[in-house]
Amino acid sequence: MSKNIFKRVLLKLSGEALASLHPEESSNFGISQEMLERIALDIKSVHSLGIQIGIVVGGGNIFRGAHGVAQHDLDRTTSDHMGMLATVINGLALHNAIQSEGTPCRIMSAIPMDTIAESYIRQRAIRHMEKGRIVVFCAGSGNPYFTTDTAAALRASELGCDLLLKATKVDGVYSADPKTTQSAEFLHKLTYDEVVKRGLNVMDATAITLARENHIPMRVFSIYNEDGFAKVLQNQGRYSTIS
């Protein structure tokens, strides 16, 4: 693969992806050290290709803002702030795993907490990536009412990324949930508008709109496939493209 196909990419990693090596497990709580190590190795493989990498990590394996409103009678702003803090826990764990593989990495937070993470500054993040450091972005966008999917599209836009990748439990986008609908059709290529009009559960509408307006193509793939991240960037394996 030519190193010039993608210069800089943004990976959106869900919190649930960190919970287990096995996507079929019903419990998605906590952090699996084995899964962290697998993801860190996959990221290392991409880094070795000379591609600049930013990562936005979610927090659903610890606390999800929307669930806090529904299940714990929290107001939305408080609940979303709790969800942002969950992403910081995941970001610290991922940062440590990446560093343990000998890959240079920095962690940046949208909410200032200088004792454990750098505050997000766009030019500083770009500089880190230009120097070959992976950057893990946590605390979402720093604002309630916005998902980490939207934060990923925002960071990809701000940082001038060539590609936004969404790592999921399934190997791409389907016409329906393949776990419950046997006839679900795999959709290899879609437009942004098709995703919104068909109500496909890829990213929220705000994230899709941001990607479309800034002309950032997206690829959706399974993080559970070995070297899935690296293979997608080499146009290998199974994935869906949105552009």
What domains does the chain contain, in order, with CATH numbers? 8-242 (3.40.1160.10)
Residue 88: DSSP 8-state? H
**pLDDT, tens digit, for every residue of 64-112?**
766 666 666 789 999 999 999 999 999 999 999 999 999 999 999 999 9
pLDDT digits over 116-146, tens only? 999 999 999 999 999 999 999 999 999 999 9
Name the residue among 213, 195, 194 with its Cα closest to residue 204: 195
* Region label for 181, one of left (φ > 0), alpha (ψ between -120 and 50) or beta (otherwise): beta
Tell whether the torsion through CA atoms of 33, 36, 38 and 40 is positive or negative: negative
Encode pLDDT of 53-74 as tens digits. Answer: 999 999 999 997 666 666 667 8
For residue 186, the surrounding DSSP H or E stretch is strand 186-187
Rounded (10°) angle between helices 76-100 and 65-72: 140
pLDDT number for residue 90: 97
Angstrom distance (rounded) from CA 77 to CA 140: 13
Outline where 120-225 has alpha helix (H). Answer: 122-130, 148-158, 192-197, 205-213
What is the model's pLDDT at position 226?
A: 87
Burial of 173 (0-12, 13-18, 19+ CB in 10 A): buried
Q: Which residues contact 77 (CB under 8 A, 6 or more apart)?
A: 144, 145
Residues 6+ apart with CB under 8 A from 6: 51, 162, 163, 233
Burial of 31 per CB tally in 10 Å (0-12, 13-18, 19+): middle
